[in-house]
Amino acid sequence: MNKELDQLAADNIRALAIAMVEKAKSGHPGGPMGGADYMHILYSEFFNYDPSDMHWPFRDRFFMDAGHLSSLMYAQYYLLGNFKKDDIANFRQWGSVTPGHPEVDVARGIENTSGPLGQGHTMGVGAAIAAKFLKARFGDWINHKVYGFISDGGVQEEISQGAGRIAGHLGLNNFIMFYDSNDVQLSSKTDEVTSEDTAKKYEAWGWKVVTIDGHDHEQIRKALKDANAETEKPTLIIGETIMGKGCVTADGEMYEGYTELHGKPIGDTGADYEKTMDNLGADVNNPFDIYAKVSDFYNSVKDAKKKAVDAKKAEIQSWRNDNEKLASKLDMFLSGDLPDLDFDSIEHKGGLATRAASSNVLGYLAENVENMIVSSADLSNSDKTDGFLKKTTVLKKGDFSGAFLQAGVAELTMATIANGIALHGGIIPVVATFFVFSDYMKPAIRLSCIQELPVKFVWTHDAFRVGEDGPTHQPVEQEAQIRLLEKLKNHSHEQSFVALRPADSQETNVAWKMAMENSKTPTGLILSRQGIQDIPSKGNRYEDALGAEKGGYLVQEVADPDIVLIANGSEVATLVDATKLLEEKDGLKVNIASIPSEGIFRQQTKAYQEKVIPSDKPIFGLTAGLPVNLQGLAGPNGNVFGLEHFGYSAPAKVLDEKFGFTGDQVYQQVTEFLK
C-alpha cells in the first residue's frame, strides 16, 4: 500500500482513458476518470486471475455494465499487460482490439460484450449463479468472485430490477458490484430523472449496501474487503464519484462534474486537454506511456497474482488427486462436450403438442445432462419446462444443488442471466416463456447472437392457436422477427441464430438434438400449445425427422409432383390433411416439405434445396405467422397463405376456421392457386 503510488496509478488510468478518446475524437472520458480509483484498487489488491492463463476457469470475473466506459477497462488492462500501446492508440478504429464498446475477449480480460445498459451487470449475476452451481457440485474450493460495475444508466434500466431481485433472493454473496454514482448521465443530471434512494432499494432486495467516497482508496479497500468476507448477500458498493475527476481549464481551474464531460473528447469541453493531462502527471506528447513507477508496480502486481494463483492451482490439483471421478466430470462440464445422448429413445404418446414433446425431452435431459440450468419466467407448467423441474429442484439461497431457476416474471432478466451463465462456462443454459414474450427478451437474444453464446430459448404457444387468451398472447410477427437473425451473420461469419419450429413430436426430438449440439450460437425452439397429429412415416419417423438437420426436408415425396406444399411447425400436419383431399378428390401428386429452419436450409447445396423445393413446380406455403415467413422459400411464382392481422380471442378450432387454416380450407386455397 503506497498512497502516492496508488494516486499515480489512478491518474495514469485517467490520462490513458482521456488520451484514447482525444485521439479517436470520440468516446466517453468523464466516466473513466470517476471510476479509475476503484479499478486500480480492485485490480491491484483484490482481483484474482492468472496473467499467463487468462482462460483459467476459476478466475475472478469482471462484468462491465457501462460499456461506454470501455476506455477505463482498456487503460486498466493495459497497465496489466493485456493490451499493447498500439491497441490503446487505435481505440475505436477498424480492426483494433479496442472497439468503442467492449466486445467479449477473455484473453484480454473482457468477459462480456456491453453497451446496452443494464445487461452487463445482469450477465454478471448469471455468472455468479454459474459459479454457485459448480461450487455446490464440486466443493467449496470453487470460490471465485464476480465483480460488476454499474453506472446511473444501468441502475435506471428496468432489467436492474430483475437482476437485483434475483441476486438478493438467491443470496449471491459471490457477486460484488460497484456503482459509479456520479450524479451525471448523458443528457442531464440524475436528480432530473430520479429521486429514489438506491441504497434502500438494493437493501430491500436483500443486498448488503455500503456507500463510500469513490475516490478514497482506503474506503474502497475496506468496502472490497468487507464484500469479500460477506457470506450471505451480494454487495453493492455505492461509490460517490465525480464525473471528469481531474479535469482542469486552460487557466488551471478545476472543471469537474459537468454533464458535457460524459461523452466527448475533453478538448471539446470547457476543460483543457493539455492542462488536464498535465494535471494528471502525463506527458501530452507521449500520452500512451505508462508512468515508470506505475509500470514497475504493475509488474510486481502481476507476479503476485501469478504466485497466488499457483497456490490455488496446487490446492485444486490435490482436490483432483483425491476426487478423480468428480474431476473428470468437472472437465467434461468445462469442455462444453455433451455426454452420449440418444434422442431416438425419447418416447411420446401420439398427437402431442410439441411443447409436451419438449417436456419429455427435457425430462430425458434432466437425467442425462448434469450441467444444465433450465429457467422459466413463471410459466414452467405452461411452457412445459416442468418436465425438467420434476426431476430436479429449484436453485435457492444456500442450496444450489438443484438445476432449475425460477426467474419470476422477468423475461429479459432471465435471458440475460442465461447469457451470463454461458459466458461463465461449464453450464448449458435453457430459458423458456411464451413465444409472444420473446419480444421482452429481444435485447438479450441480440447479445446472445453477438457474443455467440449457445443459449437455448424455448418458446411455446407459438401461434394464434393459443386461442382464448386473445391477440396479446397470439404471436403473429414473432417468427418473422426471430428469423431475421437467421439471416444475420456473426463475427465468425456464421448464421447468428438458429430458429427451429418442429412439425411434430419426433421432429421436436431432432430439434432438441440440434439445439444441444449447437455449441456455436443460440438456438430457439418454437413450439405449439395445441396437440398435433404426428406426421405419417413409411418407416421410422425419428429417422425421417433427422432431415430437419438440413433445415428442411420432404415428409412426403412422390415422383414428379404436381405441387409442393411447404410449412413448418403445426402447419405441416394441416398440409398433410389438405394433401389427402388433393389426392383423393383431384388425383394430384403432392410433395410436402417441413422447413423448421430456413437459415439452415439455405446452407444446403443448391441441388438439395432444389430437390426439396423445385423451382419448376408450383409451390404453396402455409404459415400461421406473417406470409413473409415462407415467401422467400416459395419464390416469385409461389403462393403463401399466412396471417396478416392480429388474432382474436376464441377457441383454437374456431380460429382455425375463421382464419382459413383447416385442412378443407387449405385444400380449397391450393386448388384455387392451381387454376
Ligand X SMILES: Cc1ncc(C[n+]2csc(CCOP(=O)(O)OP(=O)(O)O)c2C)c(N)n1
Provide the annotated active-site residues: 411
Return phi, psi of residue 198, to 5°. Answer: -60, -40
Say how far apart CA 46 and CA 7 lie, in whole Å.
Answer: 17
Q: Rank residues 244 and 502 by Cβ distance to ligand X and give the closer one.
A: 244
DSSP summary character for residue 669: H
Say how far apart CA 445 and CA 492 lie, in whole Å.
Answer: 17
Distance in Å, CB of 453 to ligand X, minimum: 19
Q: Rank residues 151 and 219 by Cβ distance to ligand X and give the closer one.
A: 151
DSSP annotation string for 40-51: HHIIIII----T
For 59, 203, 375, 441, 443, the CA distances from 425, given in Å and listed in that order, are 12, 30, 17, 21, 21
Distance in Å, CB of 120 to ligand X, minimum: 10
Nearest-5° Cα angle at 213, 209 to 214: 85
| H-helix segments, 139-269 | 152-156, 159-169, 198-204, 217-229
Say how far apart CA 613 and CA 163 lie, in whole Å.
Answer: 46
Distance in Å, CB of 187 to ligand X, minimum: 7
Beta strands in 9-165 (DSSP E): 61-64, 146-151
Q: Rank residues 157 and 411 by Cβ distance to ligand X and give the closer one.
A: 157
Say how far apart CA 304 and CA 85 lie, in whole Å.
Answer: 23
Q: Rank residues 59 and 68 by Cβ distance to ligand X and give the closer one.
A: 68
Q: Rank residues 214 and 467 by Cβ distance to ligand X and give the closer one.
A: 214
The answer to whether the beta carbons of residues 392 and 403 sit under 8 Å apart is: yes
Distance in Å, CB of 158 to ligand X, minimum: 10
Q: Rank residues 263 and 387 by Cβ distance to ligand X and give the closer one.
A: 263
Distance in Å, CB of 203 to ligand X, minimum: 21
Q: What is the 3-state secondary structure (H, E, C) of 523-585?
A: EEEECCCCCCCCCCCCCCHHHHHHHHHHCCEEEECCCCCCEEEEECCCHHHHHHHHHHHHHHH
The b-or-e profile of 94-121 (16+ CB within 10 A means b, else e) is eebbbbbbbbbbeebbbbbbbbbbbbbb
For 64, 90, 97, the CA distances from 94, given in Å and listed in that order, are 22, 8, 9
Residue pointed to by grid coordinates 437425467: 367
Neighbours of 91 (CB within 10 A): 27
Nearest to 623 by CA among 556, 575, 670: 575
Q: Rank residues 262 and 355 by Cβ distance to ligand X and give the closer one.
A: 262
Cell of 123: 450477465
Distance in Å, CB of 420 to ligand X, minimum: 17
Cell of 654: 374456431
For residue 376, the cross-strand partners are 406, 432
Q: Rank residues 32 and 663 by Cβ distance to ligand X and give the closer one.
A: 32
Q: Rank residues 259 and 474 by Cβ distance to ligand X and give the closer one.
A: 259
Q: Rank residues 115 and 663 by Cβ distance to ligand X and give the closer one.
A: 115
Distance in Å, CB of 226 to ligand X, minimum: 24
Say how far apart CA 350 and CA 352 lie, in whole Å.
Answer: 6
Distance in Å, CB of 28 to ligand X, minimum: 6
The answer to whether the beta carbons of residues 449 and 496 sit under 8 Å apart is: yes
The b-or-e profile of 460-480 (16+ CB within 10 A means b, else e) is bbbbbbbbeeeeebbbbbbbb
In the complex, the residues that contact ligand X under the rule CB under 6 A are: 28, 30-31, 66, 68, 115-117, 151-153, 157, 180, 182, 184-186, 243, 262
Q: Rank residues 211 and 382 by Cβ distance to ligand X and give the closer one.
A: 211
The answer to whether the beta carbons of residues 83 and 96 sit under 8 Å apart is: no
Distance in Å, CB of 416 to ligand X, minimum: 12
Distance in Å, CB of 264 to ligand X, minimum: 12
Distance in Å, CB of 36 to ligand X, minimum: 13
> What CA dihedral angle connects 119, 121, 124 and 126, to 10 degrees?
-50
Distance between start and end Cα atoms, the chain: 87
